[in-house]
């Protein structure tokens, strides 16, 4: 038995993260710079609601899929097998890989049929939390449970930022008999709003409890994997320190009272819980007004809890400097891309589009390797849209064309009602066809999607 001494640093309670622990992917390759894993999409009966068995769509039988860990510069090999009854692909959201590994069916790779397999092989160039999900019938397949995290670590990051948690946020609806909700529930109105599940999920669990020691920082690396739900999180009398986002660390940290994540976005935040020993803090989902009816009659919901250890508050180490040198992209001479997010009126199924054209009717945009473009995305609808560009990080611009501070690399940006978003992107040497779309996946499947052909 080891007895701690007075000089032992304070620590989180034993088993503090067990309620949200993610299954690690098993690395099959012994080389230090290669991560090789097997990944299988299949239906598995899970107990999402106590006492009910739900046939969820899963990666490797769990919800979410396994946590794949790699370091910057590693080669990642994923031996994917499809045991579903439908074709699928795997898109690696936020990874700057080659187009043929991006999982965009009909453009960068063929669909993987039932019983088929595909090997994804790419190098991870950037630190940060990324994630994986399908790009065939995306709203249904992701909504049924197909999503998982990929964390790329940078050994050069400052130490002692906080005890780390990867948190995959999503939602799902389970019927009284344990079955999943009909993916087309609500018809055109469901598509217009974007279908949200009744149950909030944190790493596949409903309202889990994380143990904590008052005064000790925790580092939450969060991804919003929901098909449509915006996640806005708050803790009464607490503030968050956001140190990173989609593409890794920010230029410098910022403090905020709430964390807002549109579908597809990531956040890297520090939180130091405070309160009486033995008390519980509620981490609440706060409705976000993303358009007509989005907050009407909707109460705040407890997403998960922090239970403080029954011992005095600890004094944490001082926060080390967290800064990243990010150069602003030069917009002088940049080409322009002007897009409008649109809704087509008429009978039949709801059809959305970009510049009035549904994705299945649209011609690709064309750009050249080495080109810099300023994109202006205008929203003509009564709902916000999270706009995602595959394959490339960009920098968001303010109304005057100046970069938004603190600088950060993004791949998903919110386009508000009666407004727009502007960003600048430089196409590095990875030619091919790249998707861009609304990451409310019901909207993408309804036509709000397009392709960018980057050529040499």
Domain 335-455: which CATH number of 2.40.30.10, 2.60.40.420, 1.10.10.10, 3.10.50.40: 2.60.40.420
Chain mean pLDDT for the chain: 95
**What's the pLDDT score for residue 348?**
81
Per-residue pLDDT tens for 358-377?
999 999 999 999 999 999 99
Going by their DSSP bridges, the two strands 301-308 and 209-212 should be labelled as parallel
Q: Averaged over 342-359, what is the pLDDT? A: 91
Region of poorest pLDDT, from 92-106, 284-298, 323-337, 381-395: 284-298
Least confident of 1-5, 12-16, 45-49, 388-392: 1-5
**Would the pLDDT of 346 be above 60?**
yes
Q: For position 8, what pLDDT does the model report?
A: 75
- Contact between 73 and 119 under an 8 Å Cβ cutoff? The reply is no
Which residues, 6+ apart, have CB-to-CB distance to 346 below 8 Å?
Answer: none
pLDDT at residue 175 greater than cutoff 50: yes
b/e code 63-98 from CB counts within 10 Å (16+ = b): bbbbbbbbebebebbbebebebeebbbbbbbbbbbe
Q: What is the pLDDT of residues 62-87, one digit of tens each?
A: 999 999 999 999 999 999 999 999 99
Using CB atoms within 10 Å of the CB of residue 181, give its burial: 0 to 12 exposed, 13 to 18 middle, 19+ buried: middle
Residue 106 pLDDT level (bands cut at 50, 70, 90)? confident
Average pLDDT over residues 225-240: 98
160 contact partners, CB below 8 Å, separation of at least 6: 317, 319, 320
Q: Where are the beta strands (DSSP E) in 117-208?
A: 117-123, 128-133, 148-153, 163-172, 199-202
pLDDT tier for residue 294 given thresholds of 50, 70 and 90: confident
Model confidence at 295, in pLDDT bands (50, 70, 90)? Answer: confident
- CA 208, CA 214: separation in Å to the nearest integer? 18
CATH superfamily placement of domain 163-308: Cupredoxins -  blue copper proteins (2.60.40.420)
Q: Give a three-class secondary structure readout of 315-326.
A: CCCCCCCCCCCC
Burial of 177 (0-12, 13-18, 19+ CB in 10 A): exposed
Q: What are phi and psi of 60, to 5 degrees?
A: 60, 30
Lowest mean pLDDT among 17-26, 293-302, 314-323, 361-370: 293-302
Give the pLDDT confidence score for residue 158 in this predicted structure. Answer: 87
Supply the pTM of this predicted model.
Answer: 0.96
- What whole-number percentage of the chain has pLDDT above 90? 92
Q: Which candidate, 54, 25, 52, 55, places its Cα nearest to that of 42?
A: 55
In terms of DSSP bridges, do strands 365-368 and 385-389 run parallel, antiparallel, or are they unpaired? unpaired
Following CA atoms 80, 81, 85, 88 in sequence, which dihedral angle do they give, to the nearest 10 degrees?
A: 20
Distance CA(139)–CA(357), nearest Å, equals: 20
pLDDT one-digit tens code per residue, 370-401: 999 999 999 999 999 999 999 999 999 998 89
What pLDDT is recorded for position 443? 97
Report the alpha-carbon distance of residue 398 to residue 407 in Å, rounded. Answer: 11
Reduced DSSP (H G I as helix, E B as strand, rest coil) percent helix, strand, coil of the chain, to 5:
5, 45, 50
Sheet arrangement for strand 420-426: 351-354, 335-344, 372-379, 420-426, 394-397
d(CA 242, CA 250): 8
Beta-bridge mates of residue 367: 454
Residue spans of the domains in the chain: they are: 18-153, 163-308, 335-455
E strands of 154-202, at which residues? Answer: 163-172, 199-202
How much is the pLDDT for 1? 42
pLDDT band at 230 (very low <50, low <70, confident <90, very high): very high
Tell me 174's DSSP state: B
Identical topology for domains 163-308 and 335-455? yes
- Give the Cα separation of 439 and 105 in Å (integer): 17
Q: Which CATH architecture has domain 18-153?
A: Sandwich (2.60)
Angular region, 45: left φ>0, alpha ψ -120 to 50, beta rest: beta
Signed CA dihedral, 95, 99, 101, 104: sign only: positive
The answer, yes or no, to whether residue 5 has pLDDT greater than 90, is no
Tell me the average pLDDT across 310-326: 93
Whole-angstrom distance, CA of residue 85 vs CA of residue 7: 57
| β-strand partners of 302 | 284
pLDDT of residue 345: 78
For 359, left (φ over 0), alpha (ψ -120 to 50), or beta? alpha
Cα three-residue angle 386-387-389, rounded to 5 degrees: 140
Q: How far apart are CA 147 and CA 387, in angstroms?
A: 19
Distance of CA 448 to the CA centre of its chain: 19
Q: Which of 96, 91, 81 is nearest to 136 (CA)?
A: 91
């Amino acid at each position: 038995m080891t007895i701690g001494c007075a000089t032992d640093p304070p620590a989180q309670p034993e088993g503090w993260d067990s309620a949200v622990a993610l299954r690690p992917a098993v690395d099959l390759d012994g080389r230090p710079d290669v991560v090789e894993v097997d990944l299988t999409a299949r239906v598995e009966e899970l107990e999402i609601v106590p006492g009910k068995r739900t046939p969820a769509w899963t990666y490797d039988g769990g919800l979410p899929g396994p946590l794949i860990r790699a370091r910057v510069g590693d080669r990642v090999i994923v031996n994917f097998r499809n045991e579903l009854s439908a074709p699928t692909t795997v898109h690696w959201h936020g990874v700057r890989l080659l187009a043929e590994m991006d999982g965009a069916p009909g453009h960068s790779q063929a669909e993987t049929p039932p019983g088929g397999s595909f090997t994804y092989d790419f190098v991870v160039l950037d630190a940060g939390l990324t994630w994986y999900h399908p790009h065939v019938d995306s709203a249904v397949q992701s909504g049924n449970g197909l999503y998982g995290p990929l964390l790329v670590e940078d050994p050069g990051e400052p130490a002692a930022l906080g005890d780390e948690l990867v948190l995959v946020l999503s939602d799902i609806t389970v019927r009284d008999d344990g079955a999943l909700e009909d993916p087309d529930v609500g018809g055109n109105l469901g598509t217009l709003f974007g279908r949200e599940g009744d149950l909030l999920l944190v790493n596949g669990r409903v309202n889990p409890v994380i143990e904590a020691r008052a005064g000790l920082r925790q580092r939450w690396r969060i991804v919003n994997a929901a098909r449509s739900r915006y996640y806005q999180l708050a803790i009464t009398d607490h503030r968050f320190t956001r140190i990173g986002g989609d593409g890794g660390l920010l230029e410098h940290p910022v403090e905020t009272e709430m964390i807002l994540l549109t579908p597809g976005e990531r956040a890297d935040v520090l939180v130091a819980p405070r309160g009486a020993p033995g008390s519980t803090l509620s981490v609440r989902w706060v409705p976000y007004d993303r358009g007509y009816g989005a907050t009407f009659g909707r109460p705040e919901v407890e997403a998960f809890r922090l239970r403080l250890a029954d011992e005095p508050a600890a004094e944490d180490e001082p926060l080390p400097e967290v800064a990243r040198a990010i150069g602003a992209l030069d917009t002088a001479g940049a080409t322009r891309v002007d897009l409008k997010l649109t809704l087509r009126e008429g009978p039949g199924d709801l059809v959305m589009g970009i510049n009035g054209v549904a994705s299945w009717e649209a011609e690709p945009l064309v750009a050249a390797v080495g080109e810099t473009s300023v994109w202006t995305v205008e929203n003509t609808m009564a709902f916000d849209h999270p706009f995602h560009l595959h394959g490339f990080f960009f920098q968001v611009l303010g109304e005057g064309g100046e970069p938004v501070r603190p600088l950060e690399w993004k791949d998903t940006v919110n386009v508000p009602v009666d407004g727009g978003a502007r960003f600048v992107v430089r196409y590095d040497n990875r030619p091919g066809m790249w998707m861009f779309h609304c990451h409310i996946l019901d909207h993408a499947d309804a036509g709000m999607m397009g392709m960018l052909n980057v050529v040499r």
